[in-house]
């Protein structure tokens, strides 16, 4: 009993969520949670390669019909800037490899238009001198097979849509500053 409680609490501390009875977790083997995002994942305009980072997850509920992945910068200057939104990911998928954005997604998954104005991963490019920006990578397990979102959704539209469909979610946060 105590061991199970310890495991549950440990999963919550590292980015898991307990909604509907499932512990779901997401992480990147290349980005430490609460650490800084390596340069190769940032926009080319500031010296990066704009590669989408590798992401892995576990604990997807059996009832999930699809997954949605969002990366959003919630810094007051960024005002919920969406860097990446991938919808209609099969619940059987357990990872997105490095550089998968731009045409190499798992079958059926699709990228919506980010706040930069293009579909796909748009790495960090915060304004200089604004301090560390938090980049929240959030994975949602949904009760629907396809996310009914506009092609270029705002953060408010994403939150409003997901509210009625989320079975579980998991997240981790990493930072970048110039």
Q: What is the mean pLDDT of the segment spanning 155-169?
A: 96
| pLDDT value of residue 21 | 52
Name the band, by pLDDT with cuts 50, 70 and 90, for residue 149: very high
pLDDT score of 14: 41
Instruction: Kindly tell me the burial class for residue 46, based on how many C-beta atoms sit within 10 Å of its own C-beta (0-12, 13-18, 19 or more).
Output: middle
State which residues form the domain around 66: 2-176
Examine the pLDDT at 2 and tell me if it is beyond 70.
Answer: no
The stretch 106-131 carries a mean pLDDT of 98
Mean pLDDT, to the nearest integer, of 118-139? 98
pLDDT number for residue 13: 40
pTM: 0.87
With a pLDDT cut of 70, the percent of the chain lying above it is 88
Q: State residue 5's pLDDT score.
A: 34
Q: What is the pLDDT of residues 29-52, one digit of tens each?
A: 999 989 999 999 999 999 999 999
Q: In the predicted model, is pLDDT for residue 151 greater than 50? A: yes
Report the number of distinct structural domains present in the chain. Answer: 1
Q: Could you tell me the sign of the dihedral formed by the alpha carbons of 146, 151, 155, 161, in that order? A: negative
Residue 59 region by backbone torsions, left for phi larger than 0, else alpha for psi between -120 and 50, else beta:
left
SS3 26: strand
DSSP assignment of 91-154 equals TT--EE-TT-TTT-PPTT-EEPB-TTSSBS-----PPTTS-PEEEEEEEEEESSSS----SS--
CATH number reported for the structural domain that contains residue 146 in this entry: 3.90.280.10
- Which two structure tokens, joined as six digits, stand for 8? 């549950």
**pLDDT at residue 131, rounded to an integer:** 98
Q: pLDDT at residue 22 above 80?
A: no
Percentage of the residues of the chain whose pLDDT score is greater than 90 = 87
Per-residue pLDDT for 85 more than 50?
yes
């Amino acid at each position: 009993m105590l061991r199970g409680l310890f495991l549950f609490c440990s999963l919550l501390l590292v980015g898991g969520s307990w909604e509907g009875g499932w512990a779901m977790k997401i992480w990147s083997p290349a980005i430490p949670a609460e650490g800084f995002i390596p340069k190769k994942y940032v926009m080319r305009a500031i010296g990066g390669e704009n590669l989408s980072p590798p992401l892995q997850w576990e604990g997807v509920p059996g009832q999930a019909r699809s997954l949605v992945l969002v990366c959003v910068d919630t810094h007051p200057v960024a005002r919920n800037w969406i860097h990446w939104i991938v919808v209609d990911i099969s619940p059987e998928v357990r990872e997105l490899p490095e550089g998968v954005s731009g045409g190499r997604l798992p079958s059926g998954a699709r990228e919506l238009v980010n706040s930069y104005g293009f579909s796909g991963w748009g790495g960090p490019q915060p304004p200089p001198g604004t301090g560390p920006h938090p980049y929240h990578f959030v994975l949602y397990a949904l009760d629907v097979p396809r996310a009914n979102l506009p092609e270029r959704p705002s953060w408010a539209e994403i939150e409003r849509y997901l509210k009625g469909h989320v079975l579980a979610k998991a997240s981790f946060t990493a930072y970048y500053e110039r």
